[in-house]
Structure 1
């Protein structure tokens, strides 16, 4: 596990609950979501604008975080989750990338996206 000096940010990973839509399909239910805290490092990798009939700001970010929550549980992250930090909400893009030491999970590298506008 990486120490606080290298992972200074406290972020929350939000997992949606599950609900059935009107056709009986299971869909994410953000009103019944749960959150866990984890230590991490966030950095913005790119930024762009979408000005085709809108004025959107798009950011691609990287989260490097411990594989354990601050409560000591194993962190699970899925492509449907969200990450919250410093008042911003990020979408997880695809599955997280686990990084291994020779025999154990060392940290996760998780790609994030934020879109405003």
Structure 2
């Protein structure tokens, strides 16, 4: 596989709302450039409704062997000028016969419409 792609991990900061709850604050997000990725199309769907049509596009992301970028399920990924949500948990693949990380994989998607 080719691991020549780069994306930006966007992680929300936090703030306290009027009720005293800690909530995500995307206006103070932390950004981290992540390289050595392989990003491939995974899914496309379109839902036609009375009010609007929604298109959802998903990509499977895999890191290079021996890498474990700091990406979590609550993060967003900026890639090719678009913002994607991490869809589900990030899978950590172990190295054979050890506890070391071989690579990570996750799905990211974007809905428009």
Whole-angstrom CA distance in 2 between matches of 1:54 and 1:14: 28
1:36 aligns with 2:32: yes
> In 2, are the aligned partners of 1:99 and 1:108 still within 8 Å (CA)?
yes
| Structure 2 residues not aligned, in runs of 5+ | none
Corresponding residue pairs, total: 108
Alpha-carbon deviations, 1:47-89, whole Å to 9, x = none? 0112122111101211112475xxxxx6322211001111111
Q: What is the rounded CA distance, in whole Å, between the counterparts of 2:94 and 2:111 in structure 1?
A: 31
Q: Which of 89, 93, 96 is equivalent to 2:83? A: 89
Structure 1 unmatched ranges of 5 or more = 69-73
RMSD: 1.7
In the TM superposition, what is the alpha-carbon distance from 1:38 to its structure 2 partner?
A: 1.3
Matches within 5 A, 1:56-95: 56-66=54-64, 68=67, 75-95=69-89
1:116 aligns with 2:101: no
**TM-score, normalised on structure 1?**
0.83
Distance in structure 1 (CA, Å) of the matches to 2:7 and 2:42: 18
SS in 1 for 2:3: coil
Counterpart in the other structure of 2:47: 50
